[in-house]
Amino acid sequence: MRQFFDFIMKGLSRKSLLLVCILCLPSFLLVGQQYNRIRADFSIKVRTSSGGQSLTLGQIFYDKNNKQIIYYISFPEREIWLTADTMIYQIRNDKLVTKTATFAIAEFTVFHLALNSRLQDFGLRNTQYTIGDVSREADLVITTWSPPEKTRQTLGNILVSVKNKQLFGVIFQNPQGVVIRKQFFEEYLVTNGLSFPGRIVEINTIEGRDSYQVTTYKNIVVDEMGNDNKYFYNISGLHF
Amino acid sequence: MPKTLTWRTFALFFVFFPFFFDEIALYNFFHNFSQINVLITYPMRKLLILCSLLLLIGVSRSMASQADLFHYDAVTVENQMAQLNQLEGYVMENPGITLGEMTTNGNTLASLVSDPNGISGFNLTNEKTFGIPGFFWGCVLGPFGVAVVYFVGKDKAETKMAIIGCVTVSVLSIGLSVISTILQARL
């Protein structure tokens, strides 16, 4: 009798263990899904409040392990724009044209956030901003992120909205609560399970006047196996 | 004034002061309070309903305001981008063409682009040192400003502008001091 009981218990535990494994495997696969590389054709159209216009077309390559965003620009002129650490390099015919400091580092770009599935909070979770308020209005979940106490004289709140579990809009306010910048993430494209906005509309308001920027991405390739040389640029050998 | 003796304390004291001496008045007060709806006349009710409605509208509007922020006029954006869409279409039809080549060929679409380098197309790329142009760093803070741009900005072009700013201010101040010295000597 006891042997029979042990046999049943063993059988049950094995079956239940197997069942748990089968049920949990897909969720482990989903959580563990990480991407490393992204490549896309892009176009950036800008119209400033003073009427100035610019159009930039090309391809962008990003490998999160290298942390270099490389823009291979075909229009207006053939050249490369490369962001690495806090610097931007303008390269033409393998020669450095300009080298500019920037506060926009790779970790806070749409490419890095999308590859790490952290686009929903716009990367603010890993900053000193804290969640002030969360509300649901119609189909939007709006999170208000507040800057640290000591910087509230210079920085305002950032409102992030999510629609259908995808980042929809980001509103930047000045310390007085006036909207100074709006970003909208639209026309999401899903490639190999990675969701990436196909169009980003940005409206900057300075002294009551609006400037517009529309960025589009298409032909997105995720985790490309080839073209390794396109994802890394050796900047040590660059000279003016 | 101690915190316990706020204006609210005084107000309560003056309201209930008569009742400390008259139990009947106290009874009447609470009795009337329980039947206070009798005191609300018909016009007053209308006013209350109106106020409630206005309050409700106000609350609902304030609640909707956050969602309203996440809205933009798509037609305006399309209108603003109309010329650039036209240019983009042309470039797509002629892959590999550059703005320089379009200008050389006398293509009228080339004139639509006001910024030939397309630098302003990148928010990433138009950062100055703390958002201030190098010239002003040199102008206002002199050699210190140049050092800030050189070490913080790490940008040769901006450092050059800072040096120009520094030299410009120095030349101007020397010139002004020479002129003032000459004028003082003549007087």
One domain for residues B62 and B88: no
- Average pLDDT on B174-182 reads 85
Q: What is the per-residue pLDDT across B36-55, written as a single tens digit (0 to 9) for each?
A: 555 555 556 556 666 666 66
One domain for residues A47 and A146: yes
Integer-rounded Cα Rg, in Å, for chain B is 37
- Average pLDDT on A80-84 reads 92
In a domain, B53, yes or no: yes
In Å, how far are A71, B37, B49, B57 from B52, measured between CA atoms? 58, 16, 5, 9
Q: Is it the case that residue B12 has pLDDT exceeding 60?
A: no
**Does B32 or B147 have the greater pLDDT score?**
B147
Whether B62 has its CB under 8 Å from any CB of chain A: the answer is no
Whether B135 has its CB under 8 Å from any CB of chain A: the answer is no
Q: CA A220, CA A41: separation in Å to the nearest integer?
A: 7
One domain for residues B87 and B58: no
Domain end: B86, B112, B138, which one? B112
- pLDDT band (50, 70, 90) for residue B75: very high
CB within 8 Å: B84 and A55? yes
pLDDT of residue B59: 52
Domain that holds residue A197: 33-237
> With pLDDT > 90 as the criterion, what percentage of chain A qualifies?
62
Is there a contact between A44 and B66 (Cβ–Cβ < 8 Å)? no
Say which amino acid occupies B167.
Answer: V
Distance of CA A165 to the CA centre of its chain: 15
pLDDT of residue B132: 60
pLDDT of residue B14: 55
One domain for residues A88 and A139: yes
Q: CA A204, CA A180: separation in Å to the nearest integer?
A: 6
Which chain B residues have a beta carbon less than 8 Å from that of A75?
91, 97-99, 118
One domain for residues A128 and A94: yes
A148-178 b/e with 16+ CB inside 10 Å = b? Answer: eeeeeeebbbbbbbbbeeebbbbbbbeeeee
Whether B116 has its CB under 8 Å from any CB of chain A: the answer is yes
One domain for residues B63 and B81: no
Omega cis (within 30) before B43: no
B103-142 b/e with 16+ CB inside 10 Å = b? Answer: eeeebebbebbebebbbbbbbbbebbbeebebbbbbbebb
CB within 8 Å: B70 and A168? yes
* CATH number, domain containing residue A157: 2.50.20.10
Q: CA A76, CA B25: separation in Å to the nearest integer?
A: 89
In a domain, B120, yes or no: no
Is there a contact between A158 and A124 (Cβ–Cβ < 8 Å)? yes
Q: What is the per-residue pLDDT across A3-19, written as a single tens digit (0 to 9) for each?
A: 655 655 555 555 555 55
- Residue B97, Ramachandran bin (φ over 0: left; ψ between -120 and 50: alpha; else beta): beta
pLDDT of residue B44: 60
One domain for residues A6 and A23: yes
Cβ under 8 Å to B: A residues 2-41: none
- DSSP letter for each residue of A3-36: HHHHHHHHHHHHHHHHHHHHHHHHHHHHHT----
In Å, how far are A77, A132, B99, B181 from B118, measured between CA atoms? 9, 38, 10, 49
List helix spans (H) across chain A: 2-31, 110-115
One domain for residues A24 and A64: no
Phi, psi of B78 (to 5 degrees): -60, -40
Q: Min CA distance, A97 vs chain B (Å)?
A: 10
Q: Is it the case that residue B165 has pLDDT exceeding 60?
A: yes
Integer-rounded Cα Rg, in Å, for chain A is 23
Is there a contact between B121 and B95 (Cβ–Cβ < 8 Å)? no
Q: Which of B13-22, B39-48, B57-66, B174-183 has the highest mean pLDDT?
A: B174-183
Q: Is it the case that residue B65 has pLDDT exceeding 90?
A: no
Domain end: B16, B38, B69, which one? B69
Q: Which of A23-37, A48-62, B3-17, B138-152 has the highest mean pLDDT?
A: A48-62
Q: Is it the case that residue A62 has pLDDT exceeding 80?
A: yes
pLDDT of residue B126: 42
Q: Is A69 exposed, middle or buried (0-12, 13-18, 19+ CB in 10 A)?
A: buried
Q: What is the per-residue pLDDT across A24-45, written as a single tens digit (0 to 9) for each?
A: 445 444 444 679 999 999 999 9
One domain for residues A77 and A18: no
One domain for residues A125 and A8: no
Which chain A residues have a beta carbon less than 8 Å from that of B114?
51-54
Q: CA B57, CA B53: separation in Å to the nearest integer?
A: 6
One domain for residues B58 and B77: no
CB within 8 Å: B125 and A100? yes
If you average pLDDT over every residue of chain B, what do you get?
71
Tell me which of A41, A44, A45 to substitute to probe the interface with B (most B C-beta atoms closer than 10 Å).
A45
One domain for residues A225 and A154: yes
Q: Is it the case that residue B90 has pLDDT exceeding 60?
A: yes
pLDDT of residue B161: 79
In a domain, B121, yes or no: no
Q: Is it the case that residue B141 has pLDDT exceeding 50?
A: yes
pLDDT of residue A196: 96
- Number of domains observed in the structure of chain A: 2
Of A83, A99, A171, the CB nearest to B69: A171
Which chain B residues have a beta carbon less than 8 Å from that of A103?
127
One domain for residues A25 and A116: no
Domain that holds residue B12: 7-69
One domain for residues A13 and A117: no
One domain for residues B79 and B60: no
Q: What is the per-residue pLDDT across A85-123, written as a single tens digit (0 to 9) for each?
A: 888 899 999 899 988 887 667 888 999 999 999 999 998
pLDDT of residue B16: 54
Is there a contact between A179 and A172 (Cβ–Cβ < 8 Å)? yes
ipTM: 0.80
Nearest to A123 by CA among A112, A134, A136, A135: A112
Q: Which residues contact A129 (CB under 8 A, 6 or more apart)?
A: A145, A146, A147, A148, A158
| Dihedral sign (CA B63, B66, B69, B71) | negative
Q: What is the per-residue pLDDT across A129-170, written as a single tens digit (0 to 9) for each?
A: 999 989 998 899 999 999 999 889 889 999 999 999 999 999
- Average pLDDT on B20-30 reads 58
- Number of domains observed in the structure of chain B: 3
Domain end: B58, B80, B112, which one? B112
Whether A137 has its CB under 8 Å from any CB of chain B: the answer is yes
Nearest to A117 by CA among A30, A185, A51, A186: A30
Say which amino acid occupies B180.
Answer: S
In a domain, B125, yes or no: no
Q: Is it the case that residue A212 has pLDDT exceeding 70?
A: yes
pLDDT of residue B182: 85
pLDDT of residue B58: 55
In Å, how far are A182, B57, B58, B66, B69 from B63, measured between CA atoms? 20, 10, 9, 7, 11
| Dihedral sign (CA B136, B140, B143, B148) | negative
One domain for residues A69 and A21: no
One domain for residues A105 and A14: no
Q: CA B88, CA B70: separation in Å to the nearest integer?
A: 28
One domain for residues B38 and B88: no
One domain for residues B102 and B156: no
pLDDT of residue A126: 84
One domain for residues B59 and B16: yes
CA angle A13–A19–A23, rounded 5-degree value: 145
Whether A43 has its CB under 8 Å from any CB of chain B: the answer is yes
Whether B15 has its CB under 8 Å from any CB of chain A: the answer is no
In a domain, B124, yes or no: no
Q: Is it the case that residue B145 has pLDDT exceeding 50?
A: yes
